[in-house]
Chain A
């Protein structure tokens, strides 16, 4: 009796074996490498790691994460060269410094490896390098979308609180916002500096001098946190339209209590997850989206906060 059961079990196992194998994969062994420019200490990239792990699991491909431990871009260039030498099916990389990284990336493309640029870089640079596409948040487009949203809510004038005035890329957010509203940027952008007290005082001064200002746009937690205080002290919370880029603890709380209307998330999860999906389907079925993918702006409002808080640091 026992032996019969054993035989039956064995037969079943043998019969099922090919079925299991088929269910288990596509019969290919796709292998991708994501190279970031972030040092080990940067927690923002944890979301990226989780994103590629999830995509790898769901699509049955191998995705590895590599980064220069100290964030040294020259080391990153060597890692891209190394990745190309190990001949993977695709490389996903950021373009943190075009001068340093263009050589290794172009060599990988010439070698016949599919490359997708994520997070940083411009569509022009991506085209120039012969990469498949760019997945990230183009700053101007994010600002434009935010401006259109504000215009729909009846905003006609705004002030942009810029704490990184020397960074031309980030300033594009303000230009986009102005274009979205259909107004001139002109004097609406203030150089707030990095010091919290100075930021607060400058915002207060501006709003006092220009009481007809409809909206405030801040470009990150650095300028948002003191601006929240300034707005509350002037009694304008909930009164003035307030949007910000990026999320932080203070920003989330301000969204909760209605001081901030929305925060813009560039959704790093998508920057990691989507390139893997695109590459896997390109390798398997030869299909490719016809344009770059914008991972942001993702608008976070009081309605969507639950998920943000639940997955903060993991997928958000």
Chain B
């Protein structure tokens, strides 16, 4: 939304005070929520280790996981579509890396690249079916959810006779591409912090003297990069305007010359890309792929996006908001453990927060758009 210099005073342009303009943004709900959540846990769980180095790394990692899939889900949702196959895609992509890299013994970089190609192709297929048939994406991707999950269980069972394939870390030794997903950066900085006594160090074992947090996982780097990329794409490019237009009113956008179908298919591909990034980071970190990985992750992505203020019906939302939603989600999920809340009540809290966030976001959106 570039500001055009106003030459003459136009009665159609309403004067808004700078403060109000700064306040009424789609991210506002996310910002308020994030502040509220941090305040809540600072009061309730300040001495539980939630805010020491390990605790911060823990909820940051979980939030980063949500963020990676939320960016894709957010852009797709603004373009007016849904992807319910994200969770299955995570399981499937991880399994593909394991099959290619461990079972078939390909070099890890090739396994990763081929996995990306296959998964993005599945995303394109999702998008193609949606725009060709005009079926709701909810239904199409629900089918993909089952198809991919089925393959994820079937393929390793036929080849390996088991549903968990390990040995990925060993297979990725010395690979040039694997560390981009599974590595850590800033090790020396954390070592220095540990030596200086700022963060805790291991007291025993073969890692004695090493800091408890030994670097920032690439997962977090990916999350930040994707959020920045998504934000710039959405707010600073022509393509970003097309995304809004495609989700706002597809027919009107077509009349205005926006390639709505191409935009939607590309967003499905981007969502698949995000899911694959998530999956590859996960298998590189944990060294094994399992057939049940990623269950229900698609809903977690959608929840993060909705907490961040996007509209389920498309045409409205922000990537920064989705990132804040992911942060809130991650902090709440891990924070409830730190605060020693009975784990069976976890979903109750989640539901309440989701509801509050949506009500707040609806109110803010009405302020912005003036709709009633």
Contact = CB atoms under 8 A, between A and B. Distances in A.
Interface of A: 40, 64-67, 69-74, 77-79, 81-87, 97-100, 103, 106-107, 109-112, 130, 166
Nearest to B294: A72
A111 B57 CA distance: 15
B212 A111 contact: yes
B97 to A, nearest CB: 13
B48, B205, B286, B347: residue with the most chain A Cβ atoms closer than 10 Å? B286
B212 A99 contact: no
B208 A110 contact: yes
A86 B338 contact: yes
Contacts of B208: 110
A40 B348 CA distance: 14
Nearest to A49: B344
Interface residues of B, number: 47
A65 B54 CA distance: 21
Nearest to B207: A110
A77 B54 contact: no
Interface string B134-165: 00000000000000000000000100011010
Given A81-B58, A85-B57, 19 more contacts: A40-B344, A65-B343, A69-B296, A70-B295, A72-B293, A73-B292, A78-B334, A79-B337, A81-B54, A84-B54, A86-B48, A86-B49, A86-B55, A86-B337, A99-B166, A110-B203, A110-B204, A130-B205, A166-B161
10 contacts: A64-B343, A66-B337, A67-B343, A71-B295, A73-B293, A82-B58, A82-B338, A84-B54, A85-B58, A109-B205
B286 A99 contact: yes
A69, A82, A107: residue with the most chain B Cβ atoms closer than 10 Å? A82
Contact of A77 (B59, B212, B286): B286
A266 to B, nearest CB: 21
B261 interface: no
A91 to B, nearest CB: 12
A164 to B, nearest CB: 11
B62 interface: yes
Contacts, number: 102
A112 B296 contact: no
Interface string B57-69: 1110110000000
Interface of B: 48-50, 52, 54-55, 57-59, 61-62, 157, 161-162, 164, 166-169, 200, 202-208, 212, 282, 285-288, 290, 292-296, 334, 337-338, 340, 343-344, 346-347
A239 B338 CA distance: 57
Nearest to B169: A99
B51 to A, nearest CB: 10
B135 to A, nearest CB: 27
Contacts of B48: 86
A130 B203 CA distance: 14
A87 B49 contact: yes
Contacts of B166: 97-99
A71 B292 contact: yes
Given A84-B54, A85-B49, A86-B55, A74 B203 contact: no
Contact of B61 (A71, A78, A98): A78
Contacts of B57: 81, 85
B337 A70 contact: no
A166 B160 CA distance: 9
Q: Which 10 A-B pairs have the closest CB atoms?
A: A99-B288, A85-B54, A110-B205, A70-B295, A99-B166, A85-B55, A100-B286, A110-B202, A166-B161, A99-B287
Contact of A70 (B54, B204, B212, B296): B296
A165 to B, nearest CB: 9
B255 to A, nearest CB: 44
B58 A166 contact: no
B286 A69 contact: no
Contacts of A130: 205
